[in-house]
Structure 1
Amino acid sequence: MIEASRGRRWAVVLLVPFLLGALLWVSWSAPVEPQAPRRARAPRTSRPAASPDKPLRLAQAAPAAQATPPSSDAALTVSRVLPPPSPRALKLYQIGKKLGVREPRLENPCVAPSGTTCSRTALSPFFESLDALSSRGASSPAVISAFGNSLIAGDRIVDIIREELGANFGDGGRGVLTMDRLGPYGPRVRTGFARGGWEPRTLGELKLAELPFGITGIYHRSTTARASSRFALENEPHGTLWWLDVPRAGQLSVHADGKELARAEPQGSGQAQALAFDIPEGTRHLEVIAEGRGAVVLGLVLQHQRPGIVLDTLGVPSADANLFLRAREDIFRTQLAERSPRLLLFILGGNEAKRLEWGRSNLAEVEEGLRSLVRRSRAAAPGSACLVVGPIDAVRGGNGANKLAQRPYLDEVISIERQIALSEGCAFFDIFSAMGGSGSLARFVQAGLVHEDLVHPRSHGLDILGQLITDALLRSWVDAGDPRRQAALAPPLQASEETQ
């Protein structure tokens, strides 16, 4: 009797937390109205503080499934529901709630209306890939090409997107890698371990480099003979070395566990080349060796053929859309076409706003740069979906009333990015509003989630931004399963906005 009584008490103790957690999970799933479309604002207009009644909603449980009308945007064999939250997402929800982070919603415009409904949206190509992965009908990975500045160059924001999507739709592997890190810090998951002399150059530098760039926006040139970079393999069966055939450059060779697999012999043509090779099963390490000085590597692709998510991080410190246009167009188009992405992701705007403030750019240049980058990318990958993510909140230092005040031109850049996205058939995500609007970065600073430069979030600050983008994509994937709801969520751009 005593043992039975103890057993019942333990059952109650274990059951109560589970029930409380289930109630909290269900409470996060309450539907909310979509955000009103952003309109252009006058310069330096301040924004209200984040509303406490719209907390962050990360990876929530889905509401009861509704019948899905026939649509090319929703495979009939796939039930689109939000995946259950990961433990990390639940932790980020608690942090975000204290910071005033709002529920993430993106605008996914209808690009093919069908009467009163929508048969195809801007994100349909990517969502169809998610459907195929979800139903196990995919035979190859779904690649995301993410262009951005230092906000993603350190990988943490896109790591969250990569890992959260990969956990639910499969991990397709690493994709595009570089020879080494750009600085003595940061992760090496998507870089090699360099030895010897390698000089890195990026298109984000103030002075234009003498050699052309590809989609990575980075090249490494050997400054000593036998400079090398080593990559730990994850059972990838295939690889491609992107290299530049410059005059008087040393040869490049690729080795698997010490045995040569392939060799690139420069002819001095000045053209970009792709050296493809198969990797023997069981190989543990791959090494790229510059036999002499002057060899130039644009990137290395290590690719699985298994279904899943692959996210290529194409982040360059100090970059903006205009600087990405420094990449030579023929190389950019060839390499991006080779990657064949299902989603083009542009996370830009912060450096554009700063250069406007400093008088180094103007609104016409900002608009032309982003529009040209979007069009160039879409021409190289015409079957891809497209998503533009606006800049995060930005503040100045200062003292007194001006301390941590919002920087000027942020509203203008967000408005321009939204107008370009929707007019070019892309989706748009206003991450500024999602992170809490004006004053949100100050709250991140006070919570210790921003570096001393007051520009770059760190730690859970970056994780929250990555989770916001992930959740915005997943929510739109579910919403797009009902074309009637999608038509209401993403009305067309207003005429007044098109002309501003």
Structure 2
Amino acid sequence: VEDGPAGQATASKPGEIEDPSGRALDHFFEALEKTETEGGQTRVCHYGDSPITNDGITLTVRRKLQLRFGDAGHGFILIARPWGWYSHANVSHEASAGWESDPISISRGDRLYGLGGVSFTTNRAGVTASFGTTEEGDTGRSVSSFIIHYLKQPGGGDFEIYMDGTAYARVSTAAEDTRSAFHRVEVPNGPHKLTVETVGNGEARLFGVVLENGGRGVQYDSLGVNGAYIGLLANYIDPDHWFEQLRHRRPDLVIIGYGANESQFERLPMDQYERDTKEVIRRIRTALPGVSILFIGPMDRGARGAGGAIITRPMIPRLISCQRRIAAEAGCAFFDTFTAMGGEGTVDLWYKAKPKLMGGDFTHPTAQGAEIVGTLIYDALIEAYEKRK
């Protein structure tokens, strides 16, 4: 098949999922169909960069999937806010001061960042984080279990669990070896609030909490990290640790949505970028044989050009072409967000729109813009799902 703009296969139309193999999303679609017809749950892990750290794009995809297939729970949330704008919708989430956050980055540490790419530690007593249902909206109003993701380690401290304000359990994070650990708290299905509070008898290291609803439906984890790029998952998270996290979570679909940060480097070494992308695919499939993988290409990202005009960054089409080719060669699906939202010059139009659809950094969409992008992704997934049925 000949390539069109930005390497787009002419057999696909803008806004459609591209899958030359015809099988890349089979596992995900089989899970969705079982959820729709028999009950059960479908899980999605969506990895990405800062445009999803406020849950804007992912909120829309999650909500629409849950309204269609059922609300099986919000999914994974980081323990605290590593960035001021980190937030999740349709859930309550609070954290006290005292957590030291360590987002995945180029570092020489132990590279244990949990499912969501951020580790939180404290030696202090009385440091808290709370998670619960929401009283508003059409999703997120019930929960049947909370799963606390933390690290077992030598000398690890304890944390207390409170359920709806009442002491529930005390958990020790001490162990002879260092490994991922998960503590499940079951509750009657309904509105609840879980709080963890550190005891201060050693370092407590936590990653996040999953909210599950026992009924049929979809869980959708928004796993965005500020400044993230594909190379971090390939080189700067311990692979065995990441395997533990993914295998415990058991997603039916892993979405990889990077490119915004890579696009600022016009001399980005594409050979290294390709090696890193293939390594991430290999790691995911090592942890989760048979899982569906979907690459979501970057949105249009703008910069000031000659005369102050807002232009598309030149690396965006190159990254999209590379992602599309690697996805096709590896049997993964691909969604071209850039073309679906309008292609070259979209940032200029979105920034000048009333109300604005793109922020002044020409990178992060407004709430209205994020809803448009999330709807494009949801519509593409559903169209491909319905064609398969």
User: TM-score when scaled to structure 2?
Assistant: 0.88
* Residues paired across the two proteins, number: 372
> Aligned pair 1:252/2:162, yes or no?
no
Q: What is the match of residue 276 of structure 1?
A: 184
Q: What is the match of residue 461 of structure 1?
A: 369
Aligned pair partner of 1:126 in 23, 28, 31: 28
Larger radius of gyration: 1
User: What RMSD over aligned residues (CA atoms) do the two structures have, in Å?
Assistant: 2.4
Q: What is the match of residue 334 of structure 1?
A: 244
1:288 positional shift: 0.8
Q: What is the match of residue 95 of structure 2?
A: 194
Give the counterpart letter for 2:58 in structure 1.
Answer: V
Q: Which has the higher strand share?
A: 2
Q: What is the match of residue 411 of structure 1?
A: 317
Change (3 A) 1:221 1:407: same
8 Å CA contact retained: 2:173, 2:204: no
Task: Give CA-to-partner distance per residue, 1:111-168, whole Å, 9 cap, x none.
Answer: 5xxxxxxxxx211122222222332x12x21001101111111101011101111111
Give the counterpart letter for 2:21 in structure 1.
Answer: C
Unaligned runs of at least 5 residues, structure 2: 134-140
Give the counterpart letter for 1:379 in structure 2.
Answer: T
8 Å CA contact retained: 1:180, 1:191: no
Task: Give CA-to-partner distance per residue, 1:173-220, whole Å, 9 cap, x none.
Answer: 1121211222333534467311241111111x4555555212210111
8 Å CA contact retained: 2:103, 2:119: yes
Change (3 A) 1:283 1:250: farther
Looking at structure 2, the residues matched to 366 and 141 of structure 1 have their Cα atoms a distance apart, in angstroms, of 34
Change (3 A) 1:223 1:37: farther
Looking at structure 1, the residues matched to 323 and 111 of structure 2 have their Cα atoms a distance apart, in angstroms, of 30
> Aligned pair 1:107/2:18, yes or no?
yes
8 Å CA contact retained: 2:28, 2:291: yes
Aligned pair partner of 1:369 in 268, 273, 276: 276
Give the counterpart letter for 1:219 in structure 2.
Answer: S
Q: What is the match of residue 138 of structure 2?
A: none
> Aligned pair 1:306/2:206, yes or no?
no
SS in 2 for 1:453: coil
Moved over 6 A (4+): none
Aligned pair partner of 1:142 in 42, 58, 78: 42
Change (3 A) 1:406 1:185: closer
Change (3 A) 1:164 1:194: same
Looking at structure 2, the residues matched to 459 and 36 of structure 1 have their Cα atoms a distance apart, in angstroms, of 36
8 Å CA contact retained: 1:346, 1:388: yes
> Aligned pair 1:441/2:350, yes or no?
no
8 Å CA contact retained: 2:143, 2:192: no
Looking at structure 2, the residues matched to 324 and 142 of structure 1 have their Cα atoms a distance apart, in angstroms, of 23
SS in 2 for 1:396: strand
8 Å CA contact retained: 1:38, 1:415: no
Q: What is the match of residue 228 of structure 2?
A: 319
The share of aligned pairs that are identical, in percent, is 28
Change (3 A) 1:228 1:388: same
User: TM-score when scaled to structure 1?
Assistant: 0.69
Change (3 A) 1:188 1:152: closer
1:305 positional shift: 2.7
SS in 2 for 1:212: coil
1:314 positional shift: 1.1
Give the counterpart letter for 1:362 in structure 2.
Answer: P
Change (3 A) 1:149 1:286: same
Q: What is the match of residue 79 of structure 2?
A: 179
Task: Give CA-to-partner distance per residue, 1:253-278, whole Å, 9 cap, x none.
Answer: 22213212341241362322222333
1:345 positional shift: 1.0
> Aligned pair 1:163/2:63, yes or no?
yes
SS in 1 for 2:244: helix
Looking at structure 1, the residues matched to 97 and 123 of structure 2 have their Cα atoms a distance apart, in angstroms, of 8
8 Å CA contact retained: 1:352, 1:366: no
SS in 2 for 1:157: helix
SS in 2 for 1:350: coil
